[in-house]
Amino acid sequence: MTVTLVDVGDYPLDLAAHEAAVSDPQAGAVVSFQGVVRDHDHGRGVTLLEYEGHPTAAKILREVAEEIAADPEVYAVAVSHRIGTLRIGDVALVAAVSTAHRAAGFAACARLVDETKARLPIWKRQVFTDGTDEWVNCP
């Protein structure tokens, strides 16, 4: 029921730091997720991504984290999203939750990731191997 770490920044994200942030002696499960930049999208080769965030992104991310943390089965929540230029293999999103049992942990982490992706005002520009680009998730 605690939000321990929420951040939007232009630096590499640390999965171990997020997992440590949700550590709790009551927790039998710590479930985490990393969203990693892949080398393709819809059959097209991707060389890099650029993420731009609205000034309210950190506030909205905190709201999402607090909603997940309000679940009585959740002990702690940590989530961060990276902005700026990311290469293939870079981590764009890290989420971690702790709960007493694994089923609740998997469910809470999935909700955290899904709500973050649905509500966070961060836009993605994909640069393709053929030199073209495309903005994704723009209003």
Nearest in space to 95 (alpha carbons), one of 26, 39, 22, 23: 22
What average pLDDT does the chain have? Answer: 96
* pLDDT bucket at 30, cuts 50 / 70 / 90: very high
What confidence tens digit (pLDDT) does each residue in 115-136 have?
Answer: 999 999 999 999 999 999 999 8
Q: What is the mean pLDDT of residues 21-33?
A: 97
Better-predicted residue by pLDDT, 111 or 138: 111
What confidence tens digit (pLDDT) does each residue in 36-79 have?
Answer: 999 999 999 999 999 999 999 999 999 999 999 999 999 999 99
Q: What is the mean pLDDT of residues 11-18?
A: 98
Tell me which CATH code domain 2-136 carries: 3.90.1170.40
Dihedral pair phi/psi, residue 101, rounded to 5°: -130, 155
Distance between CA atoms of residues 95 and 76, nearest Å: 11
Where are the chain's structural domains? Answer: 2-136
Residue 1: predicted pLDDT: 74
Looking at residue 6, the DSSP 8-state letter turns out to be: E
> Got the DSSP string for 116-138?
HHHH--EEEEEEETTS-EEEES-
Q: What pTM did the predictor assign?
A: 0.95
Residue 23: predicted pLDDT: 97
